């Protein structure tokens, strides 16, 4: 007579070290195998979209810092681009280069967090994460030189950035880029062909391209599924049309590829930063004729988007002629990338669950807004 078994339902989170914030997965297991998954969110919902309707266009920048707090600079950029589109203005060239430069620094920082935690979740406790954070810390120090804050930067403004980089910033950046090239080589040697990592992630939870596109997945996850799509290339904003870089694309669509794409993107970001430093010229960093209290014309609307570290981050702004946005919808890549959770997890084992979730790289500040 067989032993009687029954499926078991478990809550992972909302307080769980591996869910990257307050996120809950209700999972039904058959032994070790996952049968059903339901993501439950909203624990960090602060109503950012409603708050934006109560603030003027410049003040909303501070709200964007608190979306994906590992890539505040890129959030600033997406929002400022949307406002500029609404007004039909463009920032000065130096501001464009500064924005591109800090956005790429931020992308490196964000990918380091993603990769560091991804490895940590595979069971390599501490060491690789500290390697990643060692470099990320330096980037945050650079941000502190620019604007006095490390995470909640609010560095950009509609029409440019709020202040030019101080003279000390440039030698510090050069020193960082020099050191980081060495540190990242170490990091790559440690990880890229690591046998344990390959065995644990190669072939696990593949995401076919058709599925990725149908689920509106974007960013590194989409590219790991073999889709060559990067908004920096397809709809160049700021100074991305003046720099050269490649778009790494995965071939196996699995957890390893999602990790690999991020590692390659760090390399490309380094290329972009070097080109920005080489091309940037003195000049104004903010549109002087833009008033502090912006009033776009009534009925105007714009959808501004960037390729953020997690995917397509979009701001859909509608104006009624007032000093605050009438509607500020945030298209959050983390939230929409979660659509594929079920596909990635069902049928796989408990031990791969956290790894697959980590490979999507979500940030709850952005999921819940």
Which residues are near another protein by CB under 8 A? 41-42, 45, 47, 49-50, 211, 213-217, 227, 229, 233-236, 241, 303, 305, 312, 314, 316, 318, 326-327, 329, 331, 335-336, 338-339, 368-369
Query: What's the min distance (Å) between Cβ of 284 and another protein?
Result: 26
Residue 332 neighbours by CB under 8 Å, 6+ apart = 67, 68, 313, 366, 367, 369
Residue number with CB closer to another protein (145 or 300) = 300
Count of C-beta atoms within a 10 Å radius of residue 120 = 20
Instruction: Give, in order, the Cα–Cα distances in Å from 247 to each of 39, 96, 297.
Output: 31, 21, 38
154 vs 218 by CB, closer to another protein? 218
Q: Based on CB atoms, which residue is closest to another protein, 165 or 306?
A: 306
Cβ 41 to another protein shortest distance, Å: 6
62 class by beta-carbon count within 10 Å (0-12 exposed, 13-18 middle, 19+ buried)? middle
Q: Which is nearer to another protein, 106 or 341 (CB)?
A: 341
Task: Please say which residue, 28 or 194, places its beta carbon nearer to another protein.
Answer: 28
Q: Decide if 335 contacts 367 (C-beta within 8 A).
A: yes
Q: In whole angstroms, how close is the CB of 17 to another protein at the nearest point?
A: 23
How is the chain split among helix, strand and coil, in percent rounded to 5? 50, 10, 40
* 188 vs 301, beta carbon nearer another protein: 301
Closest approach of another protein to the CB of residue 134, in Å: 35
- Min. distance of Cβ 312 from another protein in angstroms? 7
Tell me how far, at minimum, the Cβ of 282 lies from another protein, in Å: 26
Residue 49 or 183: the one with the smaller Cβ distance to another protein is: 49
β-pairing verdict for 160-161 and 156-157: antiparallel
Nearer Cβ to another protein (49/274): 49
Answer yes or no: are the C-beta atoms of 231 and 168 closer than 8 Å: no
Q: Are 357 and 18 in contact (CB under 8 A)?
A: yes
Helix ranges restricted to H, the chain:
48-52, 60-65, 72-87, 93-121, 127-147, 169-191, 195-201, 209-214, 220-224, 231-234, 255-279, 333-337, 341-345, 350-360, 364-368
Nearer to another protein, 135 or 205 (CB): 205
Task: Find the shortest distance in angstroms from Cβ 213 to another protein.
Answer: 5
Report, in Å, the least distance between residue 220 CB and another protein: 16
Q: Is 240 buried (19+), middle (13-18) or exposed (0-12) by CB count in 10 A? A: buried
Q: How far is the CB of 234 from another protein (least distance, A)?
A: 5
**C-alpha span between 200 and 184 (Å, rounded):** 22
Distances (CA, A) of 202 to 31, 222, 250, 253, 256: 23, 17, 12, 9, 5
């Amino acid at each position: 007579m067989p032993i009687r078994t029954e499926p078991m339902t478990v809550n992972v989170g909302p307080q769980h070290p591996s869910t990257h914030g307050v996120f809950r997965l209700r999972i039904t297991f058959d032994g070790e195998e996952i049968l059903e998954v339901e993501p439950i969110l909203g624990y960090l919902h602060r109503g950012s979209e409603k708050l934006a309707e109560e603030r003027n266009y410049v003040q909303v920048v501070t709200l964007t810092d608190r979306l994906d707090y590992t890539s505040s600079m890129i959030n600033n950029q997406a929002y400022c681009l949307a406002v500029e589109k609404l007004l039909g203005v463009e920032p000065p060239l130096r501001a464009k280069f500064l924005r591109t430069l800090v956005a790429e620094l931020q992308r490196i920082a964000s990918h380091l967090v993603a990769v560091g935690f991804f490895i940590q979740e595979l069971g390599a406790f501490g060491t690789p994460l500290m390697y990643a954070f060692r470099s990320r810390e330096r980037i945050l120090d650079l941000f502190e030189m620019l604007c006095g804050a490390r995470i909640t930067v609010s560095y950009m403004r509609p029409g440019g950035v709020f202040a030019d980089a101080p003279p000390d910033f440039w030698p510090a950046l050069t020193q960082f880029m020099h050191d980081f090239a060495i540190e990242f080589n170490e990091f790559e040697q440690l990880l890229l062909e690591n046998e344990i990592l390959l065995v644990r992630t190669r072939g696990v939870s593949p995401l076919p391209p058709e599925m990725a596109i149908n689920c509106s997945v974007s960013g590194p996850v989409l590219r790991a599924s073999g889709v060559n799509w990067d908004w920096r290339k397809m709809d160049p904003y700021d100074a991305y049309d003046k720099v050269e870089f490649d778009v790494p694309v995965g071939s196996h669509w699995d957890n390893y590829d999602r990790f690999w794409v991020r590692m390659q993107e760090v390399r490309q970001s380094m290329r972009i930063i070097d080109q920005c430093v080489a091309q940037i010229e003195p000049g104004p960093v903010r549109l002087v004729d833009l008033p502090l209290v912006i009033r776009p014309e009534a009925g105007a609307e714009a959808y501004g988007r960037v390729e953020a570290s997690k995917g397509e981050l979009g701001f859909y702004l509608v104006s009624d002629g007032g000093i605050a946005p009438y509607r500020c919808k945030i298209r959050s890549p983390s939230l929409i990338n979660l659509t594929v959770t079920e596909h990635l997890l069902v049928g796989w084992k408990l031990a791969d669950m956290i790894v697959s979730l980590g490979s999507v790289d979500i940030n709850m500040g952005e999921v819940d807004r």
